[in-house]
Amino acid sequence: MFNDILNIILKVAEGAFTEITVFVGIALILFGYFNFKNDGNFIKTIQKNKKFQPLIGAFLGLIPGCGGAILIAPLYIKKTVTLGTVVAALIATMGDSSFLLMTKSPKTFILVSIFTFIIGVVSGYIVDYGQFEKRFNLNNHFFNRKKKKNIFKNILCRKQYNFEHIGHKKGDEIDLILHHDIKGHQSVGTIGFKITHKGYVIYFAILIIGLMIGIANLFNFDFGDKNISKIISTIGIIGTFGSIFLMLAGHKYFSEHTHEEEEIRLTSLKETFIHSIIDTAFIGTWVFIAFLLYEMFIYFIGMTDLATGNDIFMQLTESSEYYAIMIGALVGMIPGCGPQIIFVSLYLKGILPIEALIAHSISQDGDALLPLIAMDVKSSLVITIITTIVALIVGYILIII
Ligand SMILES: [Zn+2]
Ligand SMILES: [Zn+2]
């Protein structure tokens, strides 16, 4: 049994890296560049166009990754954008699991994106026209409450880069929270920082080799020689364990993006690139965890026989689409991208209906809710409840239809 489990771990590690992580990495690098060029402009546009805010908000949320939605949080606290804008962005966002879906199942990705975008826009306008912000008495007390904070906290600044703040100014109340109270970018000079900001080169090299293997596999290229196959397996395994190592060195566990990092990314193209690589490691690790949990589960319910396990599992999931929607919407309430990647990975395994994936995508907020929780717990709670209710309604309507 021990040998079986070890084999499963190694096989899953290899598959996760060469079949998924390497492609996710390329998508991340491309979109990192796209966001570097455009995010600043999107934020400027949204500040100027009050009427179209939920629409632009949903668009920002739709951009793969967490960046667009994260940047909106301080704008809301400053009352530059409406509550409906945040709701629209968070409904539209799929966090980092978007990269997973995009590379493994592009058609589903487009379909889900269309759904989350339209539902995000509609919900956003309902929230604004229904005056939910007033009704729930949200976002009123932030500045009064925070003014009492010790301004000398500024001295304990961990900022290491010169970067432009987005949605707020240096030294303001939001600054105190986003750059001092909560986790931001790694401190320069620590061992972890050196590993992530210098060691990323090695991981990137493995990623490129893995990508060539992944592409060769896609075209069913036969390497023939047994020794070459062994080397290829080893690269995949090294890749996954490298992902875990890089993720841990960056002190990322359940979420990977902070508002501070997004600001730094938009100032430096090099930082954008480095963090695209670190994000790849994060996603790769969570995909590995998801697939490993799945394989282990199958192994044990099948009494160490994978084929039997698979049959039992398929029977279990076939009759449970109502639960799947519920679970999708509830998992979406958890802040942070990690758990969300597990859910999307399981969808890719073919064990969840698409309605559940849509409900989950509407409900989940990626890492974007985290800065908001730090600044305004009540608003975050109301927002996440709204997105979950919308997810349940849409999910069940889809099933009935
Ligand atoms: Zn800032
Ligand atoms: Zn960095």
Domain ranges of the chain: 2-400
**pTM across the whole model:** 0.89
Most distant CA atoms of the chain, gap in Å: 70
- Among the bound ligands, the one closest to the CA of 250: 2
Rounded Cα–Cα distance for residues 36 and 18 (Å): 27
**C-alpha 77 to ligand 1 mean position (Å):** 13
Q: Which ligand is nearest to the CA of 264?
A: 2
143 backbone dihedrals φ, ψ, rounded to 5° = -70, -35
348 in helix, strand or coil?
helix
Ligand 2 centroid from CA 33, angstroms:
15
Closest ligand, as measured to the CA of 276: 2
State the DSSP code for 283: H
Confidence of residue 155 (pLDDT cuts 50, 70, 90): very low
- Phi then psi for residue 353, to 5 deg, are -75, 155
- The tens digit of pLDDT for each residue in 86-96 reads 999 999 999 99
- Cα(71) to ligand 1 centroid in Å equals 10
Scored b (16 or more CB within 10 A) or e, 162-201 reads ebebbbbeeeebbbbbbbbeebbbbeeeeebbebbbebbe
Ligand nearest the Cα atom of residue 177: 1
- Residues of the chain with pLDDT > 90, as a percent, come to 59
Distance CA 74, CA 77 (A): 5
Ligand positioned closest to the Cα atom of 75: 1
Look at residue 266 in the predicted model and tell me its pLDDT.
Answer: 87
Least distant ligand from the CA of 179: 1
CA angle 296, 298, 303 (to 5 degrees): 95
Ramachandran angles phi, psi of 159, nearest 5°:
-65, 140
Task: Kindly give the distance from the C-alpha atom of residue 260 to the centroid of ligand 1, in angstroms, as a whole number.
Answer: 6
Distance CA 13, CA 190 (A): 29
Nearest to 61 by CA among 121, 14, 13: 121
CB 32 within 8 A of CB 268: no
Distance from the alpha carbon of residue 36 to the mean position of ligand 1, in angstroms:
16
What's the mean pLDDT in 18-36? 94
The Å distance, Cα 35 to ligand 2 centre, comes to 16
Instruction: Say what the pLDDT of residue 152 is.
Output: 46
- Could you tell me the two tokens for 382? 């109301």
Distance CA 343, CA 359 (A): 11
Q: What is the mean pLDDT of residues 250-254?
A: 89
> For residue 147, how far is its CA from the centre of ligand 1 (angstroms)?
17
* CA of 267 relative to ligand 2 center, distance in Å: 11
Length, in residues, of the chain: 401
Give me ligand 1 centre to Cα 164, in Å.
Answer: 7
Minimal CA–CA distance to 321: which of 395, 220, 213?
A: 395
Expressed in angstroms, the distance from the first to the final Cα of the chain is: 46
pLDDT > 60? residue 99:
yes
Q: What are the counts of helices (DSSP H) followed by strands (DSSP E) for the chain?
A: 20, 0
Task: Give residue 93 CA to ligand 1 midpoint distance, Å.
Answer: 21
CA of 180 to the centre of ligand 1 (A): 10
Q: Does the structure show a pLDDT above 70 at 74? A: yes
> Ligand 1 centre from 169 Cα, in Å?
7
Q: How far is the CA of 273 from the centre of ligand 2 (A)?
A: 9
Asked if pLDDT for residue 151 goes beyond 50, the answer is no
Considering every ligand atom shown, identify the ligand nearest to the alpha carbon of residue 77 and give its number: 1
Centre of ligand 2 to C-alpha 256, Å, is: 12
Residues measured by CB to lie within 5 Å of ligand 1, the ion: 165, 263
Ligand 1 center to 161 CA (angstroms): 11
**Residue 108 pLDDT class (50, 70, 90 cuts):** very high
Q: Cα(263) to centroid of ligand 1, in Å? A: 6
Residue from 117, 95, 87, 111 nearest 344 by CA: 95
Residue carrying structure tokens 């500024």: 154
Q: Is the Cβ–Cβ distance between 274 and 245 less than 8 Å?
A: no
One DSSP character per residue, 90-124 reads HHH--TTHHHHHHHH-HHHHHHHHHHHHHHHHHHH
Quick one: 313 exposed, middle or buried, by C-beta within 10 A (0-12, 13-18, 19+)? middle
Overall average pLDDT of the 188-210 stretch: 93
Residue 158 alpha carbon to ligand 1 centre in Å:
12
Residues 302-326, mean pLDDT to the nearest whole number: 80
Q: Find the ligand nearest to 371 CA.
A: 1
193 Cα: distance to centroid of ligand 2 (angstroms): 8
pLDDT band for position 145 (50/70/90)? low
